[in-house]
Structure 1
Amino acid sequence: MIYLDDMVSRWMRLASMFAFFLLFLSPWYYNKQGLLVFTLLLISDVLLINFENPFFNALIFIVRASIFLAFIGLVLNRLKQLQTNLFQKIVFTIAIGLNVFLLYMLVTMVSASPSYTFYDILFYFYGISVIMSVSAAVSFSNRYTNRASIFFLGTVLSLAFSDLAYFIAYNLNLSEFFLADITFNLLGIAFLLKFMFLERLENKEPTSHLDNRND
């Protein structure tokens, strides 16, 4: 079993994220919507270096929540075109409700105080953002069964699992989960880059067809 030190894990995340950010800025991947997501991801890993600082800790929750909300923004226009029946809406609502309940149970297990604190509220905000993002990614994947939707789903799930692995490693002192955190994080960013590449390719296709006709 490979064990990583917490601080080593943080610097590895930051170094890999910086490399991915530079790669994203290349002509093969760059787009305006993706820039917000990659900038937030980089800021998040910079803040993670000082995770023990209460101020930076609070900012991390806000930034991570913003990342998952930004994921929804990447596909929101296409999600608006989804048509669902009453049964699907009921099932979707029940699934969201169960996830929120599990989030509540997680907060009560981890929180040292019986009363709600500012950090509990931030954790709820972050958790609900993740739930909404995963739900959007699943809906997007079901509606558009193509490679882009699969990589988008992989992105959201991988980064959610990465956060969960870090949460377990840090709060439960299970250092073996730091490796899982790094692995899922690398997969998530790689999937995101592939999604950006496919999106850019798809947006260029209509232009190329017009060019061919003109020729």
Structure 2
Amino acid sequence: MRSFIFLQDRGWRRSVATAAFGWSFWGFFAAAAAFGLICWAVRGGDVVALALREDVELLVGLAPRVLVALSIASLIWVMLPRDRVSALVGRKSGVRGLVIATVAGTITPGGPSSAYSLLAVMGAAGADRGALIAYITAWATLGMQRILIWDVPFMGSEFAILRFLVSLLLPVLAGLIARRLPFALQIKDAKAPEREA
């Protein structure tokens, strides 16, 4: 169990707590408390209690899914074959590279921290700008975690399938447009000099 020795590090635990309960958390907490007081004043305590009960039910329903999605994102991060990324989604990969980037974006679980971390790794490993745009567009529009966690529970499976189908070509189209635009995209990598995507 030496791999989990970092859990005993007080500095690591403090940095995680600081990141989790930073200014944005307290800002959202203050806004929620203010809206709760307004709701109490306008609609009464029973409505606030009902809203809090529904919040707890939503949290209990989503927490396991979010935990699993973040675990998968971490595993993908350590298993990503960085040396092969350039061959799969580099400048010479054509439409095939855009399709690969679209599939990768679609199956990338987690929120922006995992998606943009993988995007940065892909960019530093040699992915071209079209593939980067296709990846992040697919993550935003076709992401399976979004479909399973948000679309199906809130809107139903018919809506989720419809949204997926009408959005299917958007990432590849966005990647093709990105490749045609006359911009020089500079990718920054801490371990290597800047390169153009």
Give the TM-score taking structure 2 as reference length. 0.28
Higher RCO, Cα 8 Å, sep 6+: 1
Give the TM-score taking structure 1 as reference length. 0.27
Write 1 or 2 for the structure with the bigger share of strand.
Answer: 2
